[in-house]
Structure 1
């Protein structure tokens, strides 16, 4: 009987904390073409600016599952090797409970030509020294952290 009460209490507290303190988690990828010294950026149809591909982690998915799926869906670029975790940030602009894992991806192939869709207007590689107008400040800052050794903040 005590075990049943303990299990019930554990489930109750777990449910309470899940409802009270939900956290969201996302993964974004810096797909880097070393030969061209360029990075993959996307432009959404519903928010301004060029940024890295990525998205939210769904229940049952790993960060790397999410990363590979989102990059493929948003750009037709397929990861062919494991990405490397660069940093984890709190994304306070989205929510105080949102976090983003940023990966650097060096092994990939263009699976198919990119075709614009309802979510993504454009996806393309840009030289690090010639990013498109409208590249978001956060995107520029992350690139400086990765390629110029700038300090990594805790907040996106």
Structure 2
């Protein structure tokens, strides 16, 4: 299954280089009651990322965030604290804007994150900020550092 996601992703990136679409994405620095951060590793990419994804046409940004958290890690009772920052990326050939939120999982959040989309999510877990996986994506590492420093981020992804 992972190889089909990788092929589809490669084809999409080729189309994006030609059409250069404008997209909007969301991600969350999602925290549990112990201050651990939720991270996911996709089946079609090699690094760990903050949970999130694209905003669908007609969908609000906050609705997209709640949908993505439910789809990727099974958290359905999160509360948004604030916007961490808004970033711009031209990587992958898209004109992409990414809104990062700081959110808190509800008191009933499981000690173990539940991968609800097994075709997309290879692994999901809670990580203490000082014990992040070595294969964290560089942009994810920057967003977590901004969160820990208490700064509002912006600019390049």
What TM-score, normalized to structure 2?
0.76
Pair 1:151–1:82, CA change in 2 (3 A): closer
How far apart are 1:153 and its partner, in Å? 4.5
Q: Which runs of 5+ in 2 are unaligned?
A: 1-18
Helix, strand or coil: the match of 2:93? coil
Partner of 1:131: 132
Q: Which moved more, 1:146-155 or 1:50-59?
A: 146-155
1:29 aligns with 2:28: yes
How far apart are 1:83 and its partner, in Å? 4.4
| Root-mean-square deviation over aligned CA pairs | 2.3
Give me the whole-angstrom Cα distance separating, in 2, the residues matched to 1:128 and 1:101.
21
Q: Which runs of 5+ in 1 are unaligned?
A: 1-19
After superposition, residues 81-120 of structure 1 pair within 5 angstroms as: 81-108=79-106, 109-110=108-109, 114-115=114-115, 117-120=118-121
Give me the whole-angstrom Cα distance separating, in 2, the residues matched to 1:86 and 1:150.
8
Helix, strand or coil: the match of 2:156? coil
| Deviation beyond 4 Å, 4+ runs, structure 1 | none
Give me the whole-angstrom Cα distance separating, in 2, the residues matched to 1:96 and 1:120.
22
